[in-house]
Amino acid sequence: MSQLVVEDLSVEYTSMSGDRFTACTDINLTIESGEFVTIIGPSGCGKSTLLHCLGGLLQPSGGSVKLGESVVDSPDPHKASFVFQDYSLFPWKSVVDNVGMGLKFAGGSKKEVAAQAREKLEFVGLTRFADRYPRELSGGMQQRVSLARALALEPQILLMDEPFGALDEQTRRALGEEMSQILRAAGQTVVLITHSLDEAIFWADRIVVMSASPGRIAEVIEVKHPQPRDLSFMATEEFQQLRVHLFEKVEFNQLQRGPKVSA
């Protein structure tokens, strides 16, 4: 059974001057339970706008988003949890307390929060850093804390918006392989936005390519290489062919851009 269904979704904004512009339109997408979908496209094509609609942070102007049998019309961290580029960790709280904060805000009991926080820290391989503070961790480790916090809520779907954007390329690749294995082990349904062609291919069961503003789905590409993957996949002919195809698709869409809007 399909987990997430987007039907005829569109989002329009009104500027301070009263002008109307369309961020994305005619979006139709079905994401199955346990599937890993990446979204890529030129800047300003509405990728983040779409992601915010999937998690209930933004209401579409038209169409709908359904998770199971329920319409997504407001945020619910147990249904959809976000991981952003900004780790958003509380610097005055320990790692384990940071992991438990989302669950605490969602109304979890003290016992439940403590147990889930410790369990998810172990899951992402950070048990021995539980009593450290964010400033004592590397950027990659802080992002793993952010992931553990999201997973502690046991969401039906995990929504990731450029989670590795602040990291250097070497760290991004190593952490990407590690986190991909973690999320596969969890059986987690994931939607990931990225500007990196390599990440889009490496992580995905399917890649959604969006056109320039107003954003539409230009193509959906299945990545058939078996999961889980390691970095050797990036040296294969299959990977390189997909990368060339994505580059040409995204570059073409970039050239076709209309007025710039925020993604």
pLDDT in tens, 174-199: 777 777 888 887 888 999 999 889 99
> CATH fold of 2-79+157-255, please?
Rossmann fold (3.40.50)
* Mean pLDDT confidence for 155-163: 90
Which residues, listed in sequence order, are joined to residue 39 by a DSSP beta bridge? 193, 208
pTM: 0.88
Lowest mean pLDDT among 27-36, 40-49, 86-95, 159-168: 159-168
Residue-range domain boundaries for the chain: 2-79+157-255, 89-154
- How high does pLDDT run on average in the chain? 87
User: Is the predicted pLDDT of residue 1 greater than 50, yes or no?
Assistant: no
